[in-house]
Structure 1
Amino acid sequence: MTSDRLQHFHGRLALPLIAAPMFLVSGVELMVAACRNGVIGSFPTANCRSTEQLDEWLTDIEARLRWHEDQTGRKAAPLCPNLIVHRSNARLEQDLAVLLHHRPEIVITSVGSPTTVLKPLHDVGALVLADVASIRHAERAAEAGADGLVLLTAGAGGQTGWLNPFAFVRAVRAFYDGIVVLAGGISDGHALRAAEVLGCDLGYMGTKFIATRESMADERHKQMLVDGSADDILLTTAFTGLQTSMLKPSILAAGLDPDDLPARGAIDVGKDIDVNARESRPERWRDIWSGGHSISGVTEVMEANDLVARTVAEYREAGGRLSP
């Protein structure tokens, strides 16, 4: 199932899949559920209110996964914290110290070069996967020594890239033989199998994990995904200054017109929103929600183990179609 680059995880993965790290969505319950079911669980360290809480989360998750392994005799899939390495992250040094203490098997770096954290993470045995949104970003991360690249392609939820996934993967594979992860548009096992055929080692699944019982997402966010389709996704720079895939219905509910948003990064949520449109002023990300093109594959809110089981069945079915 997995390539030679991931053989040390042999027998631990039910799928070559990462439950994508999602701001204000990925938490302890989702991580435990994903890893127990053979999916790499990833969460942004920024989801923790403090470095102390990050330590508590990791301790709790690790203990629960050890208990699961003791009960079942099966080792869980790896846990994979996601660290923002941009200079704007005031907690970078402190969060990194916590990760080094817990010695995660995999770490994903986002919003910048992984250069400053590569050596200390490698020293504790972690694989480092770097988020990249362009060919040049991929080249730089490869040159820095990243063990893998997460290709943010058109259709990924939240802050994303713009490149076609077919073109992006093949361009990267022309110069890089490390781990490649496809982020964007993977809504089922068929798409995951296609990513492998394309040359990827792993895929990201984010939007469908938002709509699980274990995710920390607002219940209205989950239902909006169930009710929506890819036509409800808007790519805009208005909220973060970066290309971001957002849900149009949540923008409308906040009193904004998705077809007439302010310029790049101009929205100051709480000032630019009609306060009469809601009982309380919405906050960026808490009331204006993201989603990816794979929203069209979200048909119900379900438990994470059921989502994984369904994806495994789809993945196997797709594999059968590839057989001679």
Structure 2
Amino acid sequence: MSGDHHLPKALQGLRIPAIASPLFIISVPALVIAQCKAGVIGSFPALNAREGDGESPLLEAWLQEITDELDRHNQANPDAPAAPFAVNQIVHRSNARLDRDIEICAKWKVPVWITSLGARAEVNEAAHSCGGIALHDVINNRFAKKAIEKGADGLIAVAAGAGGHAGPQSPLALIREIREWFDGPLLLSGAIATGDSLLAALAMGADLGYIGSPFIATKEANAVQEYKQMIVDSGAEDIVTSSLFTGVSGNYLKSSISNAGMDPNALPQGDQKTMDFAAGSSKPKAWKEIWGAGQGIGAVEAITPAEDVVARIETEFHAAFERLKGRLA
């Protein structure tokens, strides 16, 4: 894509200006590889790769699988190489694996590092040590400034409507406040599920979109069929925001909450002190079938390969651009 030369090399030349966000449990090598081959940066949380006791680190095996397959693809398709990939690190004090996972990612020269739930200088330094860049996700301007002070190269503004641990602020306000002082790489997360919304993110001042929920309903996603179909069958009105399940505010599918025997309209507040990533997720196993999603899922009409999601958004993006040019002419 032209007009991206101000960005770090890892973020240039994408089919559409987007990163596929790391989805807990759902993002596995098959999905990441499909996303990268489709021309967007694929990503996964390091904590998705969980080996059994006494086994070799699964994260290392995943990184080898992704690296080898993308290398094979690039050698066979020199004129249409795959996009780079990213790994998400949960930088929370309860993540006992963090130091080990940082070492493994540095060894495999992960090109894009995404950090969440805490900004730590040593993680950014590890990314830089192997030639990578570090992007930190934030829900407000104060956290954004802290992340850059600690050495992050770019920011992911997680606004209202995003899946997972969503922020409460309007994207219009959040992007504007960050852009008042920061001119580096800036992504927007929050209901980016169409080419129209991706173009709107760029018009607001973001460099790229951060797309998550549409990739849940893909053939490569590690999600049960019922979850994928619920994404297809639901819209923005079927999303509920709650802090009950992890201690931090997040967006979830109402039907999955109802299926678990709870009233989605009368959920108690959660406690942030209960957040614990020692088991890979801060969500207790009792709630493993409470399914996250963002408000943009109304755009998802079928379970398709990841390539089809990217192709749809690309077509919509260019159509929206032409339509806007006509309006402004």
TM-score, length-normalised on structure 2? 0.90
Structure 1 residue 61 corresponds to structure 2 residue 62: no
The amino acid that maps onto 1:312 is: E
* Deviation, structure 1 residue 319: 1.5
The amino acid that maps onto 1:299 is: E
Q: Which moved more, 1:227-236 or 1:10-19?
A: 10-19
How far, CA to CA, are the matches of 1:7 and 1:193 in structure 2? 20
What does residue 260 of structure 1 align with?
266
Structure 1 residue 213 corresponds to structure 2 residue 226: no
How far, CA to CA, are the matches of 1:37 and 1:193 in structure 2? 19
- Alpha-carbon displacement from aligned partner over 1:190-232 (angstroms, at most 9, x marks no partner): 1101111111111111110001111101111110111111111
* Deviation, structure 1 residue 321: 2.1
Question: Map of 1:1-324 to 2, 5 A cutoff?
Answer: 1=1, 2-6=3-7, 8-9=9-10, 12-50=13-51, 52-73=57-78, 74-265=80-271, 283-284=285-286, 286-323=288-325, 324=329
How far, CA to CA, are the matches of 1:84 and 1:210 in structure 2? 20
How far, CA to CA, are the matches of 1:175 and 1:214 in structure 2? 39
The amino acid that maps onto 1:303 is: P
* Deviation, structure 1 residue 255: 0.9
Partner SS, residue 186 of structure 2:
strand
How far, CA to CA, are the matches of 1:35 and 1:10 in structure 2? 12
Identity level (%)? 41
How far, CA to CA, are the matches of 1:76 and 1:215 in structure 2? 19
- Alpha-carbon displacement from aligned partner over 1:265-294 (angstroms, at most 9, x marks no partner): 49x9xxxxxxxxxxxxx9356311001000
- Alpha-carbon displacement from aligned partner over 1:127-181 (angstroms, at most 9, x marks no partner): 1000111111011112222110011100000111111001100110001011000
- Contact 1:211 1:222 (8 Å CA) reproduced: yes
Partner SS, residue 210 of structure 2:
strand
- How many equivalent pairs are there? 310
How far, CA to CA, are the matches of 2:31 and 2:11 in structure 1? 22
**Stretches (4+) displaced over 6 A:** none
* Deviation, structure 1 residue 117: 1.0
- Contact 1:31 1:79 (8 Å CA) reproduced: yes
From the superposition, tell whether residues 104 and 10 of structure 1 become closer, same or farther in structure 2 (CA, over 3 Å). closer
- Contact 1:114 1:130 (8 Å CA) reproduced: no
- Contact 1:12 1:76 (8 Å CA) reproduced: no
- Contact 1:188 1:297 (8 Å CA) reproduced: yes
The amino acid that maps onto 2:49 is: C
How far, CA to CA, are the matches of 1:53 and 1:171 in structure 2? 40
* Deviation, structure 1 residue 10: 7.4
Partner SS, residue 49 of structure 1:
coil
Could you tell me which runs of 5 or more consecutive residues in structure 2 were left unpaired when the two chains were aligned. 275-283
Partner SS, residue 320 of structure 1:
helix
How far, CA to CA, are the matches of 1:284 and 1:245 in structure 2? 18
What does residue 271 of structure 1 align with?
none
What does residue 277 of structure 2 align with?
none
Could you tell me which runs of 5 or more consecutive residues in structure 1 were left unpaired when the two chains were aligned. 269-281
From the superposition, tell whether residues 7 and 117 of structure 1 become closer, same or farther in structure 2 (CA, over 3 Å). closer
* Deviation, structure 1 residue 12: 3.9
Q: Which moved more, 1:176-185 or 1:282-291?
A: 282-291
From the superposition, tell whether residues 131 and 7 of structure 1 become closer, same or farther in structure 2 (CA, over 3 Å). closer
What does residue 278 of structure 1 align with?
none
* Deviation, structure 1 residue 11: 6.7
How far, CA to CA, are the matches of 1:263 and 1:40 in structure 2? 35
From the superposition, tell whether residues 116 and 33 of structure 1 become closer, same or farther in structure 2 (CA, over 3 Å). same
Q: Over aligned residue pairs, what C-alpha RMSD do you find? A: 1.7
Partner SS, residue 246 of structure 1:
strand
